[in-house]
Amino acid sequence: MQIANKTVLMRVDFNVPVQDGIVQDDARIKIPLDTVKSLQKLGNKIVLMSHLGKTCMPCEAQSLKQVIPNVEEIYQTPVLFIDDCLSDKAPEIIKEAPKDCLILLENLRFHPEEEKCDLEFAKKLASLGDVYVNEAFSASHRAHASLVGVPRFLPSAFGLSFKKEVQVIEDFFSKDIPSKMCLVGGTKLGTKVKLLRRLVRKVDKLALGGGIAGAFLADLNTAALKPFIPIGYEKEVEIIKQCAKDYNCELILPTDFSALIFSGSAFEPAIISSDAQQANIFDIGVESVKLFSEHIRKSNAFLWNGPVGLFERSPFDYGTRTLATVVAEQTTAGKLISILGGGDTCYAMSMFNLQDRFTHLSTAGGAFLQYIEGTDLPGITAIQEFQSDIIIHKF
Model confidence over 272-317: pLDDT tens digits?
Answer: 666 665 667 889 999 999 999 999 999 999 999 999 999 998 889 9
Which residue in 65, 9, 15 sits closest to 35, CA to CA?
A: 9
- Per-residue pLDDT at 257: 87
What is the four-CA torsion angle of 133, 137, 139, 145, rounded to 10 degrees?
30
- Strands (E) in the chain, as ranges, are 7-11, 18-19, 22-23, 45-49, 79-82, 102-105, 131-134, 156-158, 180-184, 205-208, 250-252, 256-262, 267-273, 280-284, 301-305, 337-341, 360-361
DSSP H or E segment with residue 220: none
Predicted confidence band at 150 (pLDDT cuts at 50, 70, 90)?
very high
Phi-psi domain of 221 (left: phi exceeds 0; alpha: psi -120 through 50; beta: other): left
Rounded Cα gap, residues 35 and 32, in angstroms? 5
Q: What value does the mean pLDDT take over residues 267-274?
A: 61
Mean pLDDT, all residues of the chain = 91
Rounded to 10 degrees, what is the CA torsion of 313, 27, 21, 36?
Answer: -170
Give the highest mean pLDDT range of 21-25, 135-139, 209-213, 383-387. 135-139
Measured CA to CA, the distance from residue 57 to residue 380 in angstroms comes to: 28
pLDDT at 1: 72
Q: Is the pLDDT of residue 129 over 70?
A: yes
> What SS3 state is found at 175?
coil
Q: According to the model, what pLDDT value does residue 266 have?
A: 54
Q: Specify the pTM.
A: 0.90
For position 221, what pLDDT does the model report?
Answer: 66
Convert the pLDDT of each residue in 16-66 to its tens digit. Answer: 999 999 999 999 999 999 999 999 999 999 999 999 998 778 889 999 999
In this structure, are residues 225 and 214 in contact, taking their beta carbons and an 8 Å threshold? yes
CA distance 129 to 47: 8
Label residue 268 by pLDDT band (50, 70, 90). Answer: low
pLDDT digits (tens, 9 = 90+) for 73-121: 999 999 999 999 999 999 999 999 998 899 999 999 999 999 999 999 9
Look at residue 389 and tell me whether its pLDDT is greater than 80.
Answer: no
**Rounded to whole angstroms, how far apart are CA atoms 392 and 395?**
9
Interatomic CA distance for residues 54 and 8, integer angstroms: 26
Q: How confident is the model at residue 231 (pLDDT cuts 50, 70, 90)?
A: confident
**Mean pLDDT confidence for 356-372:** 93
Task: Name the nearest CA neighbour of 33 among 12, 8, 5, 2.
Answer: 12
Give yes or no for residue 358 having a pLDDT over 70. yes
Task: Give the lowest-confidence range in 73-82, 242-251, 263-272.
Answer: 263-272
Does residue 182 register a pLDDT over 70? yes
pLDDT tier at 269 (50, 70, 90 boundaries)? low
- pLDDT of amino acid 177: 93
Q: How far apart are CA 378 and CA 128, in angstroms?
A: 22
Q: What is the pLDDT of residue 270?
A: 63
| Percent of the chain topping pLDDT 90 | 76
- Span 317-332, average pLDDT: 97
Question: What are the chain's domains?
Answer: 7-158+376-385 (3.40.50.1260), 168-364 (3.40.50.1260)
User: Stretch 124-132: mean pLDDT, rounded?
Assistant: 97
Residue 275 has a pLDDT of 61
pLDDT at 276: 61
Q: Is the pLDDT of residue 248 over 80?
A: yes
| pLDDT value of residue 332 | 97
